[in-house]
Amino acid sequence: MPEEIEYRLRRSARARHARVVVSHEGEIEIVLPRGMAVCDVEPLLAEKRRWIERTLRRFEEARAAAPTRLEDGGVVPYLGERLSLRVRVEPGRVRPHVALRRGSLEVAVGEPGAEALRNALERWYRREGRIEIGTRLDAAARRAGRTYGRLSIRAQQTRWASCSSSGEMSFNWRLLLAPASILDYVVEHEVAHLEVSDHSPRFWALVADRCPDYREHERWLRRNAASLRL
């Protein structure tokens, strides 16, 4: 008897069809249109079981291969580089401090442990993300002759980036854990949405014109998504 699949159920007014979403952390979400019956979930899971198991296995393998080590002397990725960590624990420190110096990240935290270090590093990546992504976004929008609205740096679970109908941009800070070419591609992808909102052939033709290797970058993200974690 196959093992039962645990999942979270969510209704969506925007969904036209039922779909299964597997997060990089291994969580499974079933998204149902408002008019679809809950009893239809089990047949959907049965249909998608092999895909779910294959996706979970791929994410687990990517996590196991990740080079990140959150400890003094460990390493973290940054736009294709590997930065060594120099960690100091300063009891009583309220706000962590992170500085990049000569290929190393010097981190001061108020308490020991991976969780405090992870939180300090995420804050640093978010700050750097606003600079790295903002610079690339400004340049790409200028080349395309377009303008965008507010830029947000977030920690989305299932998206790398998004462009709203009003031109507001949202990017996942974990893109800074990928090579710079991957970040460049995602920026071009979202700037193309300023002109074409959907993923029609016209959109992909626009992306191909601006980023000829986009298919390779898409494959890289699918293969390595689970490793882009601290």
The series of mean pLDDT values per 10 residues for the chain, 230 residues long, is: 76 85 80 85 87 80 65 91 94 94 93 93 96 97 96 91 95 96 97 95 96 93 85
| Residue from 64, 63, 106, 66 nearest 84 by CA | 106
CB of 221 closer than 8 Å to CB of 211: no
How far is residue 101's CA from residue 98's CA, in Å, rounded to a whole number?
10
Domains and CATH numbers, the chain: 8-65 (no CATH), 116-227 (3.30.2010.10)
pLDDT value for 1: 44
By DSSP bridging, strand 81-89 and strand 75-78 are antiparallel
Q: Is the dihedral of CA 156, 172, 224, 138 positive or negative?
A: positive
What is the pTM (predicted TM-score) of this model?
A: 0.74
> Are 227 and 65 in contact, with CB atoms under 8 Å apart?
yes
